[in-house]
Structure formats: structure tokens, C-alpha cells
A and B are shown apart, each in its own frame.
Chain A
């Protein structure tokens, strides 16, 4: 089964608003990452948060991690039309090679 479950599955907001996406996982992790995918393209790495970190910022992105609840959130502030994409969380276990991806959130920013 998928390690990461994300909600909402789809989110549509107005440009300038903030977008929040959530990710839950089932087992202990080493790191949690967020990736972005534009339609019909590959994924682009956005941000990584380690299991011993609680919050991380990168530009308009803010990621939180709550290992006790096995959940993470991605906040995009002051959204732009160009932020329209699918966003996936991905987790890995210590020593593991592979990442396990969540189901993704399709974000639409309306101009």
C-alpha cells in the first residue's frame, strides 16, 4: 500500500491565497520530501525535511513534520498561477534506496 496519503486530492484556490496540502504516512521514516509535477512532466524536488526537524522554509514554501502523528504539511504562500501542478510527498526509511510516493494533491491556482 502507498506509504503516503495526501489530502486533499484536489485543491482549487484564487491567486494570492495560501495553499495547504497534507501528507500522512504509516511507518517510521528517515526523511520526508515534497515534489512537484507539472502536467505531463517529470517531478521536481522542492524541499526535504529530516525526521528530527519540525519545520523548514524555502522561499514561499513552508513544510512541517509531526512524527508523532506521522504527518506533514506543505504550505505555499501567496500562490501564483504558475504554482498550478500536482504535489507529492515522498518518504524513505533509513538505509532504504527507494522513495515511496503519496497519491498527490492536484493544485489549481485561478488567476
Chain B
């Protein structure tokens, strides 16, 4: 089945540095990828929708300059948390929808998530 690889699974960084998280679809082409943020014991909060070859669509309240999303190919999307601060510490999860599959069925394949800790 479809597999999405997310890397790194854990990252610890100092305040003020930037962190890049990668999301790769391993065995399928993903025209659309989604980035979520999840706080402990809470639901997923959609941050942005990433379409290959175009600018990401950010949800209301998500800072575009803070969370840079790039979807340069059909198999790779990246999220860069710029100038990270402790309040950015969270669990970030990506998901992907396979190109051309599931007409009318919006089934997503998720990465395993990345836990970011900003000191």
C-alpha cells in the first residue's frame, strides 16, 4: 500500500534556529500533501495544503513566513519552521493523497510525524 515517509521523527533545536521536516511519498505520486500540527491529546490542526508546483494554501491564523512549505516534486514536500521558538514545539504530521486515485474518495496516507522541541 501507499507509504509516506516523514523525517526526522524527532528534532531538538535551539531557539532562533530553523528546522526542516521532509515528507516523501515512497511508492506513489502525491499531487497534494497536507501539513498538520497536533498538541498533546488534541486533534490535528490543518496548517496548510501543499500542491505540487504551486504555492501552498495556508489555513487562517497560520503564519506563512514562519512555516515555509515547498512541494517541489510529486513525491516530496517540506515544512521549514523558521526562527523556531519554544511555542513552536509540537508534533507535526504530513499526509498525502495519491494522484489519480480514489475519485470522490479523499483517503489520505499519513507520515509517522515529527516531534519538534525548541529549547
Contact call A48/B108, Cβ cutoff below 8 A: no
Contact call B110/A44, Cβ cutoff below 8 A: yes
Which residues, 21 to 67 on A, are CB-close (under 8 Å) to B?
30-31, 33, 35, 40-45, 48, 50
Contact call A99/B108, Cβ cutoff below 8 A: yes
**Segment of A11-19, A69-77, A102-110 engaged in the interface with chain B:** A102-110
Chain A's nearest CB lies how many Å from the CB of B56? 12
Supposing A30-B106, A48-B105 touch, asked if A98 and B34 sit within 8 A by C-beta, the answer is: yes
Q: How many residues of A are in contact with the other chain, CB < 8 A?
A: 26
Residue of A nearest to B94 (CB): A42
Contact call B42/A40, Cβ cutoff below 8 A: no
Contact call B32/A97, Cβ cutoff below 8 A: yes
Contact call B112/A42, Cβ cutoff below 8 A: yes
Contact call A88/B43, Cβ cutoff below 8 A: yes
Judge whether B78 is part of the interface by a CB distance below 8 angstroms.
Answer: no
Contact call B113/A40, Cβ cutoff below 8 A: yes
Contact call B95/A43, Cβ cutoff below 8 A: yes
Contact call A98/B43, Cβ cutoff below 8 A: no
Contact call B46/A42, Cβ cutoff below 8 A: no
Contact call A104/B106, Cβ cutoff below 8 A: no
Contact call B41/A106, Cβ cutoff below 8 A: yes
Chain B's nearest CB lies how many Å from the CB of A23? 12
Judge whether B28 is part of the interface by a CB distance below 8 angstroms.
Answer: no
What A residues does B109 contact at CB under 8 A? 45
A to B CB contacts below 8 Å, 11 in the list = A31-B105, A41-B112, A41-B113, A42-B6, A42-B112, A43-B44, A43-B108, A98-B49, A99-B108, A103-B42, A104-B43
Q: Which residues of A contact B (CB under 8 A)?
A: 2, 30-31, 33, 35, 40-45, 48, 50, 88, 92, 94, 96-104, 106
Given A41-B113, A50-B105, 13 new contacts (CB under 8 A) = A2-B43, A30-B104, A33-B107, A40-B91, A42-B93, A43-B93, A43-B108, A44-B110, A88-B43, A88-B44, A92-B106, A98-B46, A102-B43
